[in-house]
Chains A and B, each alone.
Chain A
């Protein structure tokens, strides 16, 4: 599946959940599908999506918001693999990590990553995340349904094709305004 097809499956499953998206092209493609208030785009914080998602999962625990969803890439996870260790250590049951693994740094000229040889799903398993392997959008949709109804911490390892969707616009957002939009969306639901 293409990354944008995987992102559509995530968008379809997460209208009511906070979604934290990793750097650059992934965030831009997500916003191009739908730029919703429940999305938090991390345009430049390299490798930080899993850490932010784990922190958010802690912060919403016990509230009416049942999951924190992270969209991470293979290259980005490899920049901060300790984040997966800490997620495995803290074991937030409400955390769902969706790893879009295309084996390349697609945002930076498709240079190959370690994921060409290393299985990041096995690494996630080794740190006690619950791993689901998916190859296509049907499997991804099923996996998302499972992770939203059964307790995690989840790690959906989705294999995607290399490459970026052509013609996607830049995301020219003020991070303060963007973050505040996300915070307002979340705070309404936390106290619902």
Chain B
């Protein structure tokens, strides 16, 4: 096992995103997934990803990436789970309502290892919020080995295309065995 399982998880998730060959990747920042976003930008510079770009708010990403399937294309959104509140109207009344496949890869906050005293108020109910809106949720955490994180992201992307809808992967980075793990 390498020095940091967290770094391995970042690497596997990035590899899975690249493997899906998305036509665009939109991101909203988060410290705990900064290595994935930086890696995606590097992959764009190397020609391994087509287009990687920031959005000002999560709902924008739902419109941008949600439009791709009309032209037979597919995109990925990288974000943090506290942004699902911002995203929900666009995610439901556009991407879900029009059956537009897209993949959202989001880190979780507000759980074990959290250092902010109010973020759990939005992050904790996110899985139920999404499921109650018929948005599928797949989760990975410290109990999943890094390759399973990658496999989950890859198959969630395929699942979005197979089922013609937005699909989310929630990644909980807390790991008591790894000092580099951040909430």
Contact = CB atoms under 8 A, between A and B. Distances in A.
Given A48-B94, A86-B60, A182 B70 contact: yes
Contacts of B55: 82, 86
Q: Chain B interface residue count: which class?
A: 20 to 34
Contact of A53 (B51, B67, B75): B67
Interface residues of A, number: 37
Nearest to A58: B24
B59 A55 contact: no
B94 A45 contact: yes
Interface in B3-41: 23-24
Contacts of B136: none
Interface string A162-192: 0000000000000110110011001100100
Given A55-B63, A59-B23, A176-B99, A82 B56 contact: yes
Contact of A56 (B54, B70, B97): B70
A85 interface: yes
Contacts of A42: 94
Interface string A21-56: 000000000000000000010111111111111111
A190 B97 CA distance: 24
B60 A80 contact: yes
A140 B54 CA distance: 32
A186 B71 CA distance: 7
B151 interface: no
B129 to A, nearest CB: 18
A64 B137 CA distance: 37
